[in-house]
Amino acid sequence: MDKQSLRHVAIIMDGNGRWAQARGLTRLAGHRQGAAAVRKIVTHCREAGLRHLTLYAFSIENWARPAFEVKGLMELLAEFLLEQEERLGRHRIELSAIGDISRLPARARELLDRVVNATRSLGGMRLTLALSYSGRDEIVRAARRLARRVAEGTLRPNDIDEQIFEDSLDARGTPPADLVIRTGSERRLSNFLLWQAAYAELYFTDQPWPEFSPEDFDRAVAWYHGRKRTFGLVEAMG
């Protein structure tokens, strides 16, 4: 993998429910299979030398799902964090989270804090989980942080530029997304990384997330390397 030109891959893991329904299984069984796919893809990305992987694990909108599904997803998250603590450390993967973490149940929040602290600055790869996340909410909370600094007198409105704004986002310290992958056949961003995906290449596949394999990931990366990224400029003449 070319580390220079592909630093950050972000994935919208969609299609767990439909994958399960098509097999006569419960939606939670689909999420469980989805968590298994997460483990495989994280390992694969680390082995391939990727520096930043962000996974959309739970959106703010997902809180409105039936209570038993929300509870099941939070339990899966807790299980994942418990089991991954040692493994992430061993593979030098640092965990971080973006989103309104204060809304997570206490147990998930505590485990998250624990694993984030235990894996801080490991430097191999940063795995970011978007939890209770929406891009607009992240931007609004960043605006609030800046407004507070202005009110305290430590920041002047005219000094606010893109860099200062970016440094106030949850995802500060993670470079912009180069490639956004969405599984599960929908073709939209669904409030994911609205700021960070401004120039990302968008890759859509019909495959539901539980079936998304390391080979599928490599296909998306190969597609990405075939793209010409101009960032609004004109292509250089050959």
Q: Which residue is nearest to ligand FPP (CB)?
A: 17
Round to whole Å and give the CA distance between 215 and 219. 6
Q: What is the DSSP code (8-state) at residue 159?
A: G
- Residue 26, class by beta-carbon neighbours within 10 Å (0-12 exposed, 13-18 middle, 19+ buried)? middle
Residue with tokens 């893991």: 13
Of the residues 2, 14, 137, 216, which is catalytic?
Answer: 14
Of the residues 62, 100, 137, 216, which is catalytic?
Answer: 62
Min CB(194)–ligand FPP separation in Å? 18
100 is a catalytic site residue: no
125 close to 50: Cβ distance less than 8 angstroms: yes
Round to whole Å and give the CA distance between 59 and 57. 7
In Å, how far are 24, 84, 104, 135, 188 from 28, measured between CA atoms?
A: 12, 20, 18, 25, 24
14 is a catalytic site residue: yes
Round to whole Å and give the CA distance between 118 and 52. 18
What residues form DSSP beta bridges with 94? 126
**Site for ligand FPP, rule CB under 6 A:** 13-18, 31, 34-35, 38, 55, 57-58, 62, 76-77, 80, 129, 184, 209
Cβ-based nearer residue to ligand FPP, 54 or 196: 54
Residue with tokens 């989103």: 99
Catalytic residue numbers, as ranges: 14, 62
